Amino acid sequence: MIIKKLLAEWHRTINEDLQGVPVAQIAEGTGLNRQTVKNYMTLSNQEKFDEKVILKINEYRNKYFETAKALTKA
């Protein structure tokens, strides 16, 4: 039960953070195919996703924000 709630919260946060980022860009950055990324970003039931997919998209989100921070400091 707790894990399901955590996954749901993580998914919501990832979606909010990557809102407006093209699916193709996320797919390229994660090495996942576009359909997998699109499904992840649009489905609310994340239990269907392999942990590797979730981790790759989260890793991309972290890199995306690190890059944005570096660009704003420059």
Write out pLDDT tens, residues 3-23.
777 777 777 888 888 989 999
Average pLDDT of the segment spanning 60-73: 85
- Chain centroid offset of residue 48 CA: 15
- Using the Cα atoms of residue 26, residue 21, residue 60 and residue 12 in order, give the sign of their dihedral: negative
- Band of pLDDT at residue 29, cut at 50, 70 and 90: very high
Residues above pLDDT 70, as percent of the chain: 89
Residue 33: which residues within 8 A CB-CB, separation 6 or more? 27
CB atoms within 10 A of CB 30: 20
Model confidence at 48: pLDDT above 70: no
